[in-house]
Amino acid sequence: MQRESFFEMVYEVVRLIPRGRVTSYGAIARFLGSGKSARMVGYALNGAWRKDDIPAHRVVNRLGVLTGKHHFPGSFAMEQLLEEEGIQVKEDRIVDFEARFWDPQKELNQQL
């Protein structure tokens, strides 16, 4: 029995994303389980904005596009938050996405 919802699991992973790094919905989905779908991650992040602990701006789609910037509370732009951490954003896309990419499955596995 899952004590936390799928959302909570996603939130935990997002919280672990290092500053100045980004990850994709699909990566998180694979990390949680091959059976999960990236859609669920996006769906979960949809409720993340309610929690100020969740750096949802570090989560983008597989192309590094800020697909969810439209869903942000409004005051703060996704790009602004990203550049604040040293991440360059150009045309709603993350510059050097591959270099900035943070794979939970890989990175966390090293530490564990």
Partner DNA sequence: TCCATGACATCCA
Partner DNA sequence: CTGGATGCCATGG
Nearest distance in Å: CB 85, DNA: 15
Whole-number Å distance between alpha carbons of 66 and 21: 14
Does residue 79 touch DNA according to CB under 7 A?
no
Q: Tally DSSP H helices, then E strands, for the chain.
A: 6, 4
Does residue 87 touch DNA according to CB under 7 A?
no
Does residue 59 touch DNA according to CB under 7 A?
yes
**Which residues bind to DNA, rule: CB under 7 A?**
5-7, 24-26, 35-43, 45-46, 48-49, 56-57, 59, 61-63, 67-72, 78
